[in-house]
Structure 1
Amino acid sequence: MDTPQVQVGAREDSQRPSDATPNTNSADVEMTIAQNPTTETQGETATDINLTDAPPAEPVANPTEAPAVSQKKPGFHFLDFLTSPIVQLIVGKGENETTLTAHQTLLLESPLLADAVAGFTESGPRRIELPEENVEAFGYFLQFQYTRDYSADPPADQDAAAAGKDDNGEQLLKHARVYTLAEKLGIPSLKTLAHSKIHRINSTPLGEITYARYVYTNTPVEDATIRKPVAMFWAHRSHVLRHEAEEEFKKLCLEVPEFCFDVLSLVLDQKEKRALDRAETEGGVRGSGRKRLRSGI
C-alpha cells in the first residue's frame, strides 16, 4: 500500500559538512507517514517500547538570545544520519495514532529516545511508541532534527492570517506544544527556538487566554521561563484586555488558581512599589513612608 509522503525542506542555516560541496539543488529529505499501522511485522514479533514518562529536562536558555544549535561529535557528517537505520515512531493513540519514520542517529540527541534505541535488539524491530505525544509537535521536532529549524503552518482563518493575528491561540499552541515536547525529550535548543517563535506571534485576548491555560496546565511550577512572561503579560494589560474577553478571563482564573495567584502577585508588587516610591518622594524614609501610607488607608 502506498503511504502519504511528508517532505521536510533542506536545512536553512549555513551549517554544512566540512567536506561537502554546497548544492543549491539538493533533494529534500522525506519522512513517511502512515495512519494506523499494524503492530507486528510479518514473520517477527514486535517488541514495543512505550514511553509515557519523561525525565526532567535541562534548563532552557534565555529566549532573547539566538537559539543555540546543538553540536554534533567531531567528524560527524550529515551523510552519517542518512546511512543510519530507520526507526518507526508510533505517535499518538486511537484515531490520531500515526507512524513516523526517521533515521536512528537523529534521535540520539534526545536522552529519552536514546534510551529507547539502546533497548533495540539486533534482529528485532526498531519501533518506539509515544502514545501521549502530539503528532504535529513531534513532526516539528523531526523537522528540527533534520534542518535545525521548523516551520508551523499558517492559521486556517485567512482573515486572521491577513491581519497578522492569531485570533484563537492556534499558532501560540503549536509552538507551546513543541516547547513542552522539547522539555520532555531533553532538547534545550529546540525549547529556546520554540519560545522565541512564541514571542513573535501577534495574538488576541482570546488567543492569549487559550495559550495561558495550556502553559499553566502543561508546564511545571518552577518553569519561570515560559510562565513568567504569561503572568507579566496579564498583570500589565489585564485591566484593559479582560473587557474584551471577560468571561473567558474569569473562567481561567477560577479553573487555574496558579495563574490567578501569579498575576495578582505581580499586580500587588507593582502597586506596592508605586506606593513606596510615592511615599519616599513626599519626603519620608521608606519605613516611615510606608507607615503613613497604611494609616491613611
Structure 2
Amino acid sequence: MAEPEVRISIQPEESQDVEMVGDGAEAEDAGGADAPAGDEDDTVQETPQKPRLTFVDYLKSPIITLTVGPPASSTSLSAHQLLLEHSPFLASAITSPTTPTSTISLPDDDLAATSAVLEYLYTGEYFPHKLATRGVLQADPSIPEMDTTGDQLLKHARVYTLAEKLGMPALRTLALSKIHLVNSTAVAELAYARYVYSHTDRQDTTIRKPVASFWGQRSHVLRHETEGSFRGMCLEFPEFAFDVLSFVLDAEEKREERKRKSTAGDGDAVAGSGSTRKRGRI
C-alpha cells in the first residue's frame, strides 16, 4: 500500500488562533503587548489573547494511549494529548476533573477507523487522500479499482460514524465525500447500506438519504444482482424499505405533477386536471 504523504496542517476542528507550523509573527493588535503604556484608557480592559501554539507544543504534550477493540484482542495506539483534545469526546475523557486518565478504552471501535482519525489529526487527511483537482481518490495498488465486497465503502463509513461519536464534523464530512467517490457493485452497495442502517441514527439523513436515493433509482435493476439479499435487507431493516419506497413514490408524484403541467392548456384543461380516478357514469 502506498504510504500517504505526511504533512502537518491545522485541523478543521481547531480554532483559527492555533497554529502548528511556521515561525512567523502574529499580526499585532492595536492594543497589544507592544503598545506604549499610558496611552490607553485605564477603564478599558482588553480581552487576553490565547497563546499561539506551535507544533513543538503539540509534541511536548503528554502521550495518551488508546486501547482499541475488544479486551481479548485490543491494540494500543499512542498520540499527543493536545491533538486528541480536538475531539470533545476524547478531551472529556482525558481532562475529566474527577478521573483524569492517560489511557482511553475504545472497545467497540474499529482499529482502521481509529488509525484514520489519528492520521487526520496529525496531517489533516487520511489515506486514500481525496485529490480535489481531479475529484477522485488517491490510487492504491493494493486494492481493486472496483469495490465488489463493500470493504472500501465500509472503511469510510466507519470513519464517518467514529467521527460522529468523537464530535469531529469536518472529518465526518470528509469521509462522506470519499464514500461518493468509490466505484462499487450492487453487492458492495448493499453491504454499505446494511452498515448505514445498523450504525447510524434514523434522523441522520445526511448519510441515509443518499443510500435510499441510490436504491430508489436503481433497485429495479440492482436487486437482481444481489441474489435475494435485497429482499432480506428490506425485511431486516424496515426503515430502509420505507425510505426507498418513499423515494420511489415521491419521484412518481413529481413526474405526475410535471405531466399535468405540461398537458394543461387553456383554463378548462387546468380546472379539469386532477385525479384520474372517477366514479363510473350510470
TM-score range, shorter chain: 0.7 to 0.9
| Structure-to-structure mapping, 1:99-248, within 5 angstroms | 99-119=76-96, 126-152=102-128, 161=144, 164-248=145-229
3-state SS of paired residue (1:99): strand
Query: What is the total number of aligned residue pairs between the two structures?
Result: 232
Provide, for residues 17-64 of structure 1, a one-character-per-residue CA deviation record: whole Å limited to 9, x for no partner: 2317xxxxxxxxxxxxxxxxxxxxxxxxxxxxxxxxxxxxxxxxxxxx
Shift of 1:294: 2.9
User: Corresponding residue for 2:70?
Assistant: 93
Provide, for residues 198-249 of structure 1, a one-character-per-residue CA deviation record: whole Å limited to 9, x for no partner: 1110000000000001011111111111111111111111111111114111
| Partners of 1:116 and 1:94 in 2: CA distance | 19
Contact 2:95 2:101 in 1 (8 A): no
Contact 2:66 2:76 in 1 (8 A): yes
Q: Which of 242, 252, 256 does residue 275 from structure 1 map onto?
A: 256
User: Corresponding residue for 1:47?
Assistant: none
| Partners of 2:209 and 2:72 in 1: CA distance | 35
Unaligned runs of at least 5 residues, structure 2: 11-18, 25-49, 130-137
2:62 maps to amino acid: P
Tell me the TM-score normalized by structure 1.
0.71
Contact 1:137 1:174 in 2 (8 A): yes
Worse overlay, 227-236 or 113-122? 113-122
Distance 1:76 1:114, change over 3 A: same
Contact 1:155 1:170 in 2 (8 A): no
Contact 2:260 2:273 in 1 (8 A): yes
Contact 1:90 1:130 in 2 (8 A): yes
User: Corresponding residue for 1:62?
Assistant: none
Rg (Cα) greater in structure:
2
| Partners of 1:258 and 1:121 in 2: CA distance | 41
2:210 maps to amino acid: P
| Partners of 1:103 and 1:115 in 2: CA distance | 15
Contact 1:91 1:99 in 2 (8 A): yes
Structure of higher RCO (CA pairs closer than 8 Å, 6+ residues apart): 1
Shift of 1:132: 1.2
Contact 2:4 2:127 in 1 (8 A): no
Distance 1:120 1:81, change over 3 A: farther
Shift of 1:290: 2.5
| Partners of 2:8 and 2:190 in 1: CA distance | 33
| Structure-to-structure mapping, 1:5-20, within 5 angstroms | 10-11=6-7, 17-19=21-23
Contact 1:107 1:113 in 2 (8 A): yes
Contact 1:152 1:174 in 2 (8 A): no
**Structure 2 residue 273 is the aligned partner of structure 1 residue 289:** yes
| Partners of 1:101 and 1:8 in 2: CA distance | 19
Worse overlay, 74-83 or 147-156? 147-156
| Partners of 1:156 and 1:281 in 2: CA distance | 49
Unaligned runs of at least 5 residues, structure 1: 1-6, 21-72
